[in-house]
Structure 1
């Protein structure tokens, strides 16, 4: 039962962070974002909640496996996860709520670094935990490209 809680609670926290970010960004998504110059590779809006549902599950599973491990690095990894989750959340605030692609870009670059660092560090503890962050890295690289394009052309 404890192992199940170690998995489900982090997934719940990821979704809670995402829902909170959505609360702050929803107005801008409807009023500001549609009027920006975006690259032709920009997916339709329906893709984003689907992608983030999958990513939050992978993220929660990843840290859940770390929490369930016997690693002496567990506390450090939890803090690293919290840091990357903070930058994940703050990107929505900076980019959408404040409508500032430059600050969003600076934030997402820090997020990219934190997520890659977490992925590398978690590999030593649990290879599956690390692999669960690969889709997140790919999505962030794409999101960084979108953010850069929007900053550059708006």
Structure 2
């Protein structure tokens, strides 16, 4: 039972962070974001919650699998994971709540660095945990492009 909880709880925490972050986006998504100049590659709004649901599942599963190992590094890896989760949450605030593409870009670049560091650091401990971060890294790289474009053209 403990092993299952060590997977289920991180997944639920990731979804909770995503839900809380979305609360900071609501006003801006309705009243600010639609009026920005965005690149042609910007997905329709419906894609974002679907993508993030998959990513939060992968993220939680990644750290949950690490927590189920006997590795001496798991506390350190958990700290890195929590840092990237915090940066993920604060991006919503910096970009949407404060309506600041510049603050969002700084935040998302830091997030990318920490995400990649986590994926590389966890690889020797639990390879699948690292691989579960690949879609997340790719999505946030795409989000960085969107953020950068919005910064340049607005």
Superposed pair shares fold, TM > 0.5 = yes
With normalisation by structure 2, the TM-score equals 0.99
The 5-angstrom pairing of residues 51-70 of structure 1 reads 51-70=51-70
Hey, what does 2:104 align to over in structure 1?
104
Note if 1:147 corresponds to 2:147. Answer: yes
| C-alpha RMSD of the superposition | 0.4
- The runs of 5 or more residues in structure 2 that have no matched partner are none
Q: 4+ runs of 1 displaced by more than 2 Å?
A: none
Take 2:45 and 2:3, find their aligned partners in 1: how far apart are those partners? 35
Partner of 1:84: 84
Secondary structure at the counterpart of residue 124 of structure 1: coil
Query: 1:126 — aligned with what?
Result: 126
Quote how far apart the aligned CAs of 1:64 are: 0.1
Query: Could you report, residue by residue, the CA deviation over 1:89-119 in whole angstroms, capped at 9, with x for unpaired residues?
Result: 0000000000000000000000000000000
1:31 paired to 2:27: no
Paired with 2:3 and 2:131, the residues of 1 have a C-alpha distance of: 19
Q: What is the CA distance between 1:3 and its match in structure 2? A: 1.0
1: CA distance, partners of 2:132 / 2:91: 21
* Structure 1 portions without partners, runs of 5+: none
